[in-house]
Amino acid sequence: MSELSNRHMMVRVVFQIVTLELLLETCFAKDVFPANFVFGDSLVDAGNNNYIASLSKADFEPNGIDFGGPTGRFTNGRTIVDIISQELGFPGFTPPYLAPTTRGPLVLHGVNYASGGGGILNQTGNIFGGRINFDAQLDNFENTRQDIISTMGASAMLELLQNSIFSVTMGSNDFINNYFTPIVSAEEQRLVPPEMFVASMIARFRQQLTRLFNLGARKIIVVNVGPIGCIPYERDLNPTSGENCATRPNQLAQLFNTELRSLINDLTISLKGSIFLYADVYRIVDNIIQNYGSYGFDSGSSACCYMAGRFGGLVPCGPSSKVCPERWKYVFWDPYHPSDAANVIIAKRLLEGDSDDIFPMNIRQLANV
C-alpha cells in the first residue's frame, strides 16, 4: 500500500474517532438536545452576513464590545440564542453557516443560518442588497442535512434532527424593512391593506415551517414579532408619539402575532409528531420596556450606541457612534436591537417562563419531552 493511501486511511480513521467523540458528548450533554439549529434575522445572526455583500453588517466596532470584539452579532454581547445555548450546556456558541470552519463533525451540534435583514417574504430587506431570507436559510439547512447524512447515515441523521432544538426568529424585517420602509414603501402601503400584507406573510410562513418539519425538525420554537414600535428607530421616525411607542407598527405586529398563534395551533394539529412552541417575545419585551426600572435599567427607550435622534434611533451603530459607559443599564444596544442585558432576561423567560411567555411549555420542559 502506498504512503498516500496510508495517509488517506489515517485521516479517515481520525475523522471517525472525532465524530464518535462528538456523538458521545452529545449523548451526555447537560440537557437532552443533541443539536441547536437557528433560523432568523439580525436578532440572532451570529456572523453570516460577514460573508456576503450586504449593507446589513455588524462586523465592526463598537458591536461586540462586551463579547471580546465584533463577530457579526448585532449587539454589544450575546444574542438570545447564544444565551440559551450556554444555558442548555452546548459546547460553545452555535456557529454561522457561512463560516469556513462550520464543516464536518462541528455541524452535529447545530448550525446558525440567521441573517441580518432577512425575512419571511423574499422581497424583504431589498434595501440592504445581500441578505439570506427564510427560504434561502432552509436551502442552506438542506445542505447541512446532506452533510450529516454523509457523516452518520440517513437513519441516525433523522434521529438527531428529531431530538434537536430548532428556533425561528422571523418577521420583524418584513415590517421594518419592507412594509414600513420610509418613502420606498409608500405606494405599497397605499395599495396593500395591512390585513392583506399580514395574510401574505402567514401564508408563506405556513409553507416554510411545513418544509422545516418535512426536513426532519420536530421540536420547533417560533418567536413572534416584538413591539417594533418601541425600538429607538421607530420612536424617532414617529416623533408625534412623544415618550410613547409608535402605535401603528405595534398594531401590525400584534395583528401578525394573533394570526401566527393560530398558525402554530394549526401546524401542531396537522403535522403529526411535531411540537411547536409559540414564544411571546412581544409580551416579554413590552413588559421589560414598561417596567425597565424594576429590571435594573436606566433606559427603556434610547439606544446605548447612538449618533443622531432624540432616542438615538436615526443612524445605525458604527465606528463613529457614541457608546454609553454602562451598557447593562440600557434595554436597547442600538436603534434596533436589545442589549446583552436585555437578551439575558428574554432568554431566561423563554427557558423557564410560564405559559404566558412561551406556550404550551418552556424550553427546559421541551428538553424532557
Q: Residue 182: its pLDDT value, please? A: 80
Read off the pLDDT band of 19 (50, 70, 90): very low
The partner residues of 303 in beta bridges, in order of sequence, read 332
**pLDDT tens track for 224-245:** 999 999 999 999 999 999 999 9
Other CB atoms within a 10 A radius of the CB of residue 157 amount to: 20
Q: In the numeric block, which cell numbers belong to residue 66?
A: 462586551
Is the pTM higher than 0.85?
Answer: yes
10 pLDDT above the threshold of 70: no
Side-chain-side CA neighbours of 277 within 13 Å: the count stands at 30
Overall average pLDDT of the 238-267 stretch: 97
CA distance 79 to 95: 13
Other CB atoms within a 10 A radius of the CB of residue 280 amount to: 23
**pLDDT tens track for 311-332:** 999 999 999 999 999 999 999 9
At position 240, the amino acid (one-letter code) is T
Supply the mean pLDDT for the chain.
92
Q: Is 42 a catalytic residue?
A: yes
Catalytic residue among 42, 56, 274, 339: 42
CA distance 116 to 33: 26
Percent of the chain topping pLDDT 90: 87
Q: In the numeric block, which cell numbers belong to residue 14?
A: 481520525
At position 97, the amino acid (one-letter code) is Y
Read off the pLDDT band of 191 (50, 70, 90): confident
84 pLDDT above the threshold of 80: yes
Q: In the numeric block, which cell numbers belong to residue 60?
A: 465592526
Side-chain-side CA neighbours of 223 within 13 Å: the count stands at 29
348 pLDDT above the threshold of 80: yes
Catalytic residue among 45, 174, 334, 357: 334
Other CB atoms within a 10 A radius of the CB of residue 330 amount to: 28
Q: What is the DSSP letter of 72?
A: S
9 pLDDT above the threshold of 50: no
Read off the pLDDT band of 189 (50, 70, 90): confident
Collapsed DSSP state (helix, strand, coil) of residue 284? helix
Read off the pLDDT band of 15 (50, 70, 90): very low
Q: Is 337 a catalytic residue?
A: yes
**pLDDT tens track for 126-136:** 999 999 999 99
CA distance 118 to 97: 14
Collapsed DSSP state (helix, strand, coil) of residue 276? strand
Read off the pLDDT band of 184 (50, 70, 90): confident
Contact 246, 237 (CB under 8 A): yes
Catalytic residue among 167, 299, 302, 337: 337
Q: Is 66 a catalytic residue?
A: no
Q: In the numeric block, which cell numbers belong to residue 220?
A: 420547533
- Report DSSP letters for 280-338, one per residue: -HHHHHHHHHHTGGGGT-SEEEEESEESSSTTS-SS---TTSEE-S-GGGEEESSSS-B
Read off the pLDDT band of 108 (50, 70, 90): very high
Q: Residue 24: its pLDDT value, please? A: 42
Q: Residue 188: its pLDDT value, please? A: 81
